[in-house]
Structure 1
Amino acid sequence: DVLFLSGRNEGGRAMASPQCSGSESSGARDGDGDEGSEFLYPELLSFAGKAQALISELLIVSEGIPPAFHDRRFDPVLFDLRYLDRPDDFESRVNGDRELQALEDELHETCSAFLQRFFLLASGIVTYHEELLKYLSDLRDGRSMQYKLDKILESKHGQQLLTESLSFFGCLLLLMEHRMSGFLREKLLVAHLRYKHCSDVQNLENICKLCRLHPFSPSHPRQGHLVPFMIAIHKPEELFARFPFPKEVVDAVICRVRDDDLYSCLRHYPDPQHRAVALSSQAGCLYVLLLYSPEFLHNGFVMREIVDRFFRDCWVCPIFLYFSVDLSVSWDAYREAKMSLSSYLPLTFVRDRVQHNCTKVKELLSEIDLVISDGVLTKNYVFEKSHHLLSLVRTCNVLMRWFLLHKASIDKKLRETITSILTAQQIGDETFFFLLLKTCQLEFEMKRLYLQLLEGRDALWDESKHCASDRMKEISLFFSGSWASSFKMKNESLDVWFGKLMLEVKSLEYSRAGNSGRKICHIISLLKEVEQLYPVEENQQIRRNLSEVQQYLQDMLKALSIDNDAMSTFSTITDSVYAWSSIEVFIALLNKKIEQDSSVVLYLHCFFLKFRSLLDVPVSRITESKSSFLLSVPNYYTLEYLSRVREVLNNFPVMIFRLFNEDTSNNLQNFHLLSRIKIANLQDFSQSEKQYSLMEAVNKISIFSQGMLRMSTFLSFTDLDMKSFLESQMSNELSKQLEFKLKSFFISTIVGPEELELNMRKLAAHVLSQQHVMEHLQDLLHIHGNHIWDEVFTNILRRSAEEEVNDFIRRSHNATATRQQLNDLSRSQTFFGRLLHQMLQLTGPSRSMFIEPMSGWFDSEGRELLGLHFFDQLESCLGAEGMASLDSLLYHAIKVNLEHLLTGLRNLLDVDNLEKLCKVDMTLGPAASQPFLGWSPYKPMLNVVNTSCEPWVESFAIIGQLQLLRCMISLKLSSSRKVLNKQGMLSAFCSPFSSIYMRKDSPPFLSRCMSIVTISQLSHYVFDPHLSTLTCQVKKGILDFSPTIIGLGTFLKQFHPTYMVEYIQYMGQYVQAVAETAVIASEPQKRTIDPASELKKSTFWLMNFCKHMEIPKDLFDSCLPPSLFTVLQT
């Protein structure tokens, strides 16, 4: 299937848009071409293969030029060939300037590999010329014992290989000048020689000759103003003169190409009007060869003959693949050649030609529409109308070729003439695209049906021959008189004659097609004579048998007419590699058409199979010679081909998601059926409009699925795994849409609890709908939709969490960052950053209170700000993996805050403060002892701490706030541990309070310092018996009790357990001191504190601290006498 549409031919055509088979025998069974010609000229075949490999490498190198060589910044260290004359002068400029040396080092580091590849290419081209020059010189001088020039030129295969070996090298020169200017080539060569220090390399003189700047004329079109595939070089014969070949050989090849049908293509184009297209392959060769011998271009008689045969109505000529030249410009320097061409290019002729072709385009579009309509194109139709269909396909391709090539003409007058008429006729790129697309469909179906005819050809022959001989036998029996019938006609001569005729039919052989065909025609004529000479019309049975015999014989003729020659013709006339130059325009129109009509997807495989020859033609000689280049060279063309396929397929996910949006997904959800429905409401209940839109979307997506399945089947030669590619693209598109949607939520920096929950409900609904979309697409597109969803959503949430963690770490590295700056998420650009910012805003310790029995945060008016209901919604939206990612973010936020707190504490504990702490510690005595002086020793230190510990306490509260959020998340994740453990995401969900976030050395007097800070905060709280907690006396500036003690406990947890024990003992020491003060105090009016209240608060603080930090009860009991527990009960 692929080869039929590819335009590939056995003769190894390789010039621009090669269309024709290499020999007459390529498709005919009784041909007379070169027998085993591929083994006759291995040297020439090797030359042609090497040239194709060099052209491929040239295209690769020219597309990978480093940006530095187009950057004016590097001009001072990039030199032309003048460097080779005075290298010391140029080097001294660079060595004396530091900036230039830095540029030199950067250039050397980034471009060395490319420079090496360019040098190998240039060296390969020069070596190719030397080897081919030696071979041709030996051929000219008769030094070759095996081959003679005349013998090679007498052979079709020899003509092709010799012509291609010369013309391919010319294409190399033209393409190098076209794709890499002389300025660039000189800079590349000199840069390589400087960096490799290899100024004495072999063939350096010829390599310099290849890279030397080729002058251009100011009046000649610059390459930068042309389309990328149109070559326009001023005086190319001077470029060719640098690398000449033996003139006798070149002239002999030119004469042969002028007169012969080099690729045997004329038989595929019987219409004289199509002769220029039939000979276009060798026309490209001839253009290049004439540049080796420009004397022909100045010979008026020869050029009129050449133009009349090859360029009569085609002045834009492809020379290799889709690279073309405009002869109306390229031959400006050759007066005779230009005059010969101009005689066929008056504007009136061009105008008439364009108008005629425009009319034909419109007619062809209508005719193709009729042919490709449903039910028209069948096997019988293809067989009976094969000649007409081939003519239709041939004409379509010829017209497309003419327009696509000549619309890009460099000559301004000719181009404007063509464009103006196309505009007047309302024919544009879209029209040619439709013609191409419909022609592709027709060609694909014709080929598919004709292949079926070929496959059934032998069976049709055998069956028809068997049936025809059986009917002959029955007729023979009738005339023998032994056949039971009411009408008997005994005729021994007819009996014997039909018997012999039966044997004659049985003896027919399909392998001898010509002889068998003549015999069948003769037998049919004899049967018709028998019908006229003998009275057989009176017997219906005999007449029917004779009619059936003739029909079976006609079927045998049909079987004989089904041969590979038609396939060869079809392959030749459908080749469209020249149209690859317009592929960008076609791809844009194709994407636009698919958006308008999804059924176009069903014919994508036809469209891309049309350009299949792009993968075969440029490597045909490499394949034929079985060269080692076959392992690498085709990759360039395959990647180029696949890049265009992907360019179309990349838009499929966007279109699919646009078709199957959130509303469509909601329509697919099951709804509850009512037990009773009123007849009047039945029509509304059916939701016909929604069902119609749903079925329309499902149908279009099914078409996408079917089209991609066809592409997977018919483009299998590209090794493109369509299913994996589609899944990858669907994953990318889903990721883009989800990231956009997630970033659009929680944009406002200040929100209330109602708005936050409303946003969360909307987000959860959207996430659920997207998940349902992927579930349904899984069935429609045969992809792993659920797996894609899980992977994409999890990765997005992970990336969001990782980005926010990196921002936390980046801010923590700023030594001057304050606590507010460290936790400022108001400018976050990530989903988790914005979500966490709003959660922290609502649960801030200074504006909310965490009430443990209700597991939520409440404001001063008792309104819930954030609670279990919110975390239920959060879990339904993010899932277990998302909650785990959020937990990971909180973990790192706590870690950063703890490290920042520790750094601040170390800075605060200077020499003076340490001395004061030491005095207090000595005065109060060991942790397990009871202070002798009661409460009074705490006063001096409290006066110091009250003014300096506020940042610490705020940090404790922030850390505790984050810890409480982790606890709420851990509560939700407790049921998902098994799933998360399998994914390696399980962390300290069970008890965040026991997590170790950092491992640092503790500062001195840590436990004593923390106990004093705690004591300093007790005065800010009062005990609320209704809430059973400590609450603030004033609304502003006081931090919530629960997060503060949790933060303090978390901080102490990061160090050795003895610090936690000491802190509890110090607090127990303080409680006992306060209790003693309450008992012995005799003058209440002079007390600085209320001992009873202080005792209650300090004891409650210590109890809650031990509860949250999971301190053993025996430790707590050892620090407080049992009598103090009755204090809280009162």
Structure 2
Amino acid sequence: MIFTTRCCQQLSRGVVLTLQVSAYPLPEHRSTALANQAAMLYVILYFEPSILHTHQAKMREIVDKYFPDNWVISIYMGITVNLVDAWEPYKAAKTALNNTLDLSNVREQASRYATVSERVHAQVQQFLKEGYLREEMVLDNIPKLLNCLRDCNVAIRWLMLHTADSACDPNNKRFRQIKDQILTDSRYNPRILFQLLLDTAQFEFILKEMFKQMLSEKQTKWEHYKKEGSERMTELADVFSGVKPLTRVEKNENLQAWFREISKQILSLNYDDSTAAGRKTVQLIQALEEVQEFHQLESNLQVCQFLADTRKFLHQMIRTINIKEEVLITMQIVGDLSFAWQLIDSFTSIMQESIRVNPSMVTKLRATFLKLASALDLPLLRINQANSPDLLSVSQYYSGELVSYVRKVLQIIPESMFTSLLKIIKLQTHDIIEVPTRLDKDKLRDYAQLGPRYEVAKLTHAISIFTEGILMMKTTLVGIIKVDPKQLLEDGIRKELVKRVAFALHRGLIFNPRAKPSELMPKLKELGATMDGFHRSFEYIQDYVNIYGLKIWQEEVSRIINYNVEQECNNFLRTKIQDWQSMYQSTHIPIPKFTPVDESVTFIGRLCREILRITDPKMTCHIDQLNTWYDMKTHQEVTSSRLFSEIQTTLGTFGLNGLDRLLCFMIVKELQNFLSMFQKIILRDRTVQDTLKTLMNAVSPLKSIVANSNKIYFSAIAKTQKIWTAYLEAIMKVGQMQILRQQIANELNYSCRFDSKHLAAALENLNKALLADIEAHYQDPSLPYPKEDNTLLYEITAYLEAAGIHNPLNKIYITTKRLPYFPIVNFLFLIAQLPKLQYNKNLGMVCRKPTDPVDWPPLVLGLLTLLKQFHSRYTEQFLALIGQFICSTVEQCTSQKIPEIPTDVVGALLFLEDYVRYTKLPRRVAEAHVPNFIFDEFRTVL
């Protein structure tokens, strides 16, 4: 408490001083000079609230010293405090502040700063005129220039703090009255204040650069001027020696000796002792003026010229010796903009509008950003003095914040570019007709289209001007981060591209599930036209803005799609991938997230679920030979493989590949749900288990013929009828998604072979080589094999899937445990569905009734995928049960002299054939369970 009181007393009496006081020698700048102390005092007073409450004399002294003309202060990095509000509960503080807040004082201060800002703005604009700030002018007018800088910064500080919205509570009548008074009397205009800030920053930047340059060359120039002056005096001494007759100057030994002495005196000047050298240089200048006057040397122009040159060099030496680092320190202190760390954001819209109107404004903004970067000195000062290891991290943080703000301001350039780009897209897509290869002369005028082409040229020129504006900024060190304008421009273009493409994808892929027919193809075509427009226009402007358009397009579109796929797949993961963990998300070029419009999180989910909806096996029938889905009731085509070509055109390889990944996750989810259902409806149901045990006893051993097979099989089906509805739905869903994955793989493989035949051939050969190596290793373990830490297999899988060189049916989606009754349950399920199907010569297996829909391809592929997840012996047992069913039923028909093969047997045989075809296994796998003659007979009957 005693320490706090002493601090208050010392601060109020000005005992604790800073370098700022020496930088602000004028009395009208006192409150600015003591601003740091005032901020410290404001905080310290809260540790001794009795002073704020009752010590009126002390508070009056504090207010008179620190707050006579200001009541809004910045305490740290732009955190502003309005003392009117902060000291309202404290009687002594409030009373002491009343003098400052008197309306006549408010009016006087506002009017004064209005006058000052107008005067100094005119001065600064004069200084910034081309060629005005020359080295000689700067060195001769250092006090004048520094005074102008002080007035500018003080006026900017006062006006920004006291007119800020954050400094005034609009609900407080007194606050509003004071602020209205300030706005009126200061003739406040945010654009004029911002222009003053810009010009001051530019002026300050030029002066700093000039002084840095002069300081670096100071000694070199001083020595050069000294050498030149000494040589002039030596030459002048030679002139009066009489040796050089061409000079026509009479010999004068006294002047000769005097000039040689002056030359020695000049050479003896010591750079390190600047005070003595300066004093002696002034004396030498006076001596040269006197010798010219007393010895009547004006009659000889050559001698006069030598004397004038020497005096000029001596004057330059005085100017050069007066270049002090203290001037730079003063400029650094005076130019502090830490109070505006947050307030500057209120001028963002003005900055952006200025850039939109005049892109070259970026050069002045560069100086403003550098001025704002000086605010970093405040948080780093004490950290640096304490030799804290946090110096780098704190520097990184504040520099990063400032660079983010720079990016935010300059983002208007890419936005403006893309506004022009959209107009170019419209003109090129709708207005300008493509010129044919051969053209009749009389139609040349029609194809010229001078108006639209002029408009495109005008918009292109505007885009190139914006590019030129940002590149004028040059590479700049903002804090400890180097900002490359070319990289800044590219990042800005990427950000705008990502924002617009992501929005187009989000808006373009929203479907109405009740629409008849589906909106899928029309929406894809419309979105494809939009994406093509973006792509073509981006390709068109790449040379004008000096960027790799195709590279940026592919990188950003792939990033958008992969990010959205990742977010959609999060629904299927226990541990979600957050934005900060995503390899596709970026801080500087963020991918926007949109509010979901249905159960899907992103557009890729909506697209996938719409495809699943329109190809639902309950509503459609898939004809494998045509790769087409037909409506079961109307027999109209719903969609075909053209759908995937359209997706490839619209979303590219990334979109198709992302859709494939999402389907993988959905299949995994369905298989997991299936296993849960299997546990629930089969392994926990005593009746079903008893039925399965009875059937297993009846069909054992599997190679034998089952007597009275119809009764045994159909009795088991009847007893388990209730479980097959859910079973069928799960199997069909998996099969449906496997068909879609096959179609996607076919489209990817086709486009890869067509567009990148060398890549496709290389991937196929590498894949075959790896498979051969793995197979050889298993046959002979001594042969080399990829080690566990080798990522080749993992990496090539991504390439193979992207190129469609894989078979989705061979994929293991989940890890499984042994399940009792699994083969016989699947067998029973299959034969339970066969009565619902019939064979059609043109279409294959189709359902008998549209009201009892079973689609054959999803059924086969679903069962195949399910069996693939388990040990191969389950598949062997399943196939053996089907073979036994076929043989037993055929044997029974033969014994009963039934001439036709039952439809159930036909279905089972077709299932075996399709199983062999889809898995690409040899026919002998099926023939191991069903004799050849049955297959042959079956084909002749069909």
Pick from 269, 275, 278 the counterpart of residue 517 of structure 1. Answer: 278
Partner residue in 1 for 2:456: 690
- Cα gap change, 1:294 to 1:686, in 2 (>3 Å): closer
Structure 2 Cα separation of the partners of residues 1039 and 982 of structure 1: 39
Are residues 1:646 and 2:401 paired? no
Partner secondary structure for residue 480 of structure 1: coil
The DSSP-based 3-state class of the residue aligned with 2:617 is: coil
How far apart, in 1, do the equivalents of 2:467 and 2:660 lie? Answer: 39
1:748 aligns to 2:523 (yes or no)? no
| Paired letter, 1:1105 | Y
Aligned residue number for residue 857 of structure 1 = 629
1:1004-1045 residue CA offsets vs partner (Å, 9 max, x unmatched): 655455444434433433333234x22334444332222222
Alignment of 1:63-82 (within 5 A): none
Distance apart, 1:460 and its partner CA: 2.5
Deviation at 1:737, TM superposition (A): 5.4
AA aligned to 1:663 is: L
- In the alignment, the residues of structure 2 paired with residue 333 and residue 801 of structure 1 have an alpha-carbon distance, to the nearest angstrom, of 57
Hey, what's the Cα distance between the residues in 1 that align with 2:39 and 2:672?
75
**Change beyond 3 A, Cα 1:1057–1:277:** closer
1:338-377 matches, within 5 Å, as: 347-377=103-133
Give the SS at the match of 2:875: helix
- Note closer, same or farther for the CA distance 1:1022–1:346 as it changes in structure 2 (3 Å cut): closer
Alpha-carbon distance between aligned partners in 2 of 1:299 and 1:951, rounded to the nearest angstrom: 85
Highest relative contact order (Cα 8 Å, sep 6+), 1 or 2? 1
Contact 1:601/1:704 (CA < 8 Å) preserved in 2? yes
Q: 1:429 to 1:964 in 2, by over 3 A?
A: same
Alignment of 1:528-539 (within 5 A): 528-532=289-293, 536=297, 539=300
Among 801, 805, 822, the residue aligned to 2:572: 805
Counterpart for residue 393 of structure 1: 149
Is the contact between residue 738 and residue 808 of structure 2 (CA under 8 Å) also seen in structure 1?
A: yes
Match of 2:740 among 952, 960, 965: 965
Matched, 1:995 2:804: no
Is the CA contact (8 Å cut-off) linking 1:605 and 1:715 kept in structure 2?
Answer: no
Post-superposition CA distance 1:820-846 (Å, at most 9, x none): xxxxx9732333321222212232223
Change in 2 beyond 3 A, CA 1:489/1:874: same
* Residue 1039 (structure 1) aligns with: 854
Matches within 5 A, 1:126-205: 169-170=7-8
Shift, 1:508, TM fit = 2.7
Measured in 2, the distance between the counterparts of 1:940 and 1:283 equals: 96
Question: What is residue 840 of structure 2 aligned with on the other side?
Answer: 1024
AA matched with 2:857: S
**Per the alignment, do residues 697 and 1098 of structure 1 end up closer, same or farther by CA in structure 2, a change over 3 Å counting?**
same
Does the CA-based 8 Å contact 1:752-1:842 persist in structure 2?
A: no
Counterparts of 2:933 and 2:627, CA distance in 1 = 32
- Structure 2 equivalent of residue 1099 of structure 1: 909
Choose which of 1030, 1049, 1058 in structure 1 pairs with 2:864.
Answer: 1049
Residues 611-650 of structure 1: CA distance to partner in whole angstroms, max 9, x if unpaired?
A: 5564445665675xx546x344896687467545534434
Counterpart Cα distance in 1 of 2:50 and 2:855: 96
Instruction: Summarize the Cα distance change of 1:952–1:641 in structure 2 as closer, same or farther, 3 Å threshold.
Output: closer
Deviation at 1:412, TM superposition (A): 7.3
3-state SS in 2 of match to 1:854: coil
Q: CA deviation at 1:1123?
A: 3.4
Whole-angstrom CA distance in 2 between matches of 1:922 and 1:409:
90
Q: Establish whether residue 757 from structure 1 lines up as the match of residue 521 from structure 2.
A: yes
Distance 1:647 1:746, change over 3 A: same
Counterpart in the other structure of 2:705: 930
Counterpart-to-counterpart distance in 2, 1:1119 and 1:265? 98
The amino acid that maps onto 1:443 is E
For residue 358 of structure 1, report the CA deviation from its aligned partner. 1.3
Q: Which is further off, 763-772 or 549-558?
A: 763-772
1:733-787 deviation digits (Å, cap 9, x = unpaired)? 7766555444334321436788423433454565677778999889858999579
Residues 475 and 485 of structure 2 are in contact (CA less than 8 Å); yes or no, is this contact kept in structure 1?
Answer: no
What's the secondary structure of 1:399's corresponding residue?
Answer: helix
Q: Partner amino acid for 2:460?
A: L
Kindly indicate whether the alpha-carbon contact (under 8 Å) linking 1:326 and 1:409 is maintained by their aligned counterparts in 2: no
Aligned partners of 1:286, 1:552: CA distance in 2, in Å?
51
Partner of 1:508: 269
1:325-344: CA deviation from partner (whole Å, max 9, x where unpaired): 859996998989968x8778
> Compared with structure 1, are the counterparts of its residues 925 and 274 closer, same or farther at alpha carbon in structure 2 (3 Å cutoff)?
closer
Q: CA deviation at 1:1091?
A: 4.0
CA distance change for structure 1 residues 727 and 984 in 2, over 3 Å: closer, same or farther? farther
Provide closer, same or farther for how the CA distance between residues 915 and 395 of structure 1 changes in structure 2, counting only shifts above 3 A.
closer
| Aligned equivalents of 1:562, 1:876: Cα separation in 2 | 67
Q: Within 2, Cα distance between the matches of 1:777 and 1:583?
A: 33
> Does the C-alpha gap of structure 1 residues 686 and 926 become closer, same or farther in structure 2, counting only changes over 3 Å?
same
Tell me, in whole angstroms, the C-alpha distance in 2 between the residues paired with 1:293 and 1:942.
92
Query: Structure 2: which 5+ residue stretches go unaligned?
Result: 577-596, 753-759, 767-791
Change (3 A) 1:770 1:522: same
Partner Cα distance (1:828, 1:331) in 2:
54
* Segment of structure 1 superposing worse, 491-500 or 833-842: 491-500
| Preserved CA contact (<8 Å) 2:838 2:847 | yes
Please report how far the alpha carbon of residue 450 of structure 1 lies from its aligned counterpart in structure 2 after TM superposition: 1.9
CA contact (8 A) 1:797 1:882 kept: no
Offset at residue 446 of structure 1 (A): 1.0
* Residues 630-639 or 1120-1129, more deviating: 630-639
The answer on whether the counterparts of 2:568 and 2:662 sit within 8 Å (CA) in structure 1 is: yes
Deviations 1:18-74 (A, max 9, x none): xxxxxxxxxxxxxxxxxxxxxxxxxxxxxxxxxxxxxxxxxxxxxxxxxxxxxxxxx
Q: Is the 8 A contact 2:383 2:390 kept in 1?
A: no
Which position in structure 2 is the counterpart of 1:659? 417
Q: Does 1:831 align with 2:594?
A: no
2:199 counterpart residue number: 438
Instruction: Give the SS at the match of 1:356.
Output: helix
Say which of 730, 738, 755 aligns to 1:955.
730
Change (3 A) 1:418 1:528: farther
User: Is 1:982 aligned with 2:795?
Assistant: yes
Partner SS state of residue 846, structure 2: strand
Deviation at 1:967, TM superposition (A): 1.9
Q: Are the aligned partners of 1:760 and 1:873 in contact in 2 as well (CA < 8 Å)?
A: yes
Q: Distance in 1 between matches of 2:450 and 2:699?
A: 84
Match of 1:892 among 661, 665, 686: 665
Task: Supply the distance in 1 between the matched residues of 2:728 and 2:49 (Cα, whole angstroms).
Answer: 90
Does residue 1:1129 correspond to 2:896, yes or no? no
Note if 1:553 corresponds to 2:320.
no
Q: In the TM superposition, what is the alpha-carbon distance from 1:350 to its structure 2 partner?
A: 3.9
Cα 1:492/1:846, change in 2 over 3 Å: same
Give CA-to-partner distance per residue, 1:362-405, whole Å, 9 cap, x none.
33333323333455444344334434322211211232344345
Quickly say closer, same or farther: Cα 1:846–1:690, change in 2 above 3 A.
Answer: same
TM-score (norm 2): 0.75
Indicate if the aligned counterparts of 2:332 and 2:374 stay in contact, CA closer than 8 A.
no
- Shift, 1:690, TM fit: 2.2
In the alignment, the residues of structure 1 paired with residue 681 and residue 85 of structure 2 have an alpha-carbon distance, to the nearest angstrom, of: 87
Residues 705 and 781, structure 1, Cα contact 8 Å, conserved in 2: no
| Residue of structure 2 in register with 1:480 after alignment | 241
Contact kept? 1:777, 1:785, Cα under 8 Å: no
Q: For residues 552-600 of structure 1, give each alpha carbon's deviation from its aligned partner in whole angstroms, at most 9, with x where no partner exists.
A: 2332232233223433443343334455574554567656655665545
Find out whether 1:869 has 2:642 as its counterpart.
Answer: yes
CA contact (8 A) 1:298 1:335 kept: yes
What are the residue-to-residue correspondences of 1:414-433 with 2, within 5 Å? 416-417=177-178, 419-423=180-184, 426-433=187-194
* 1:566 equivalent in structure 2: 327
Structure 1 residue 797, shift from structure 2 partner: 3.9
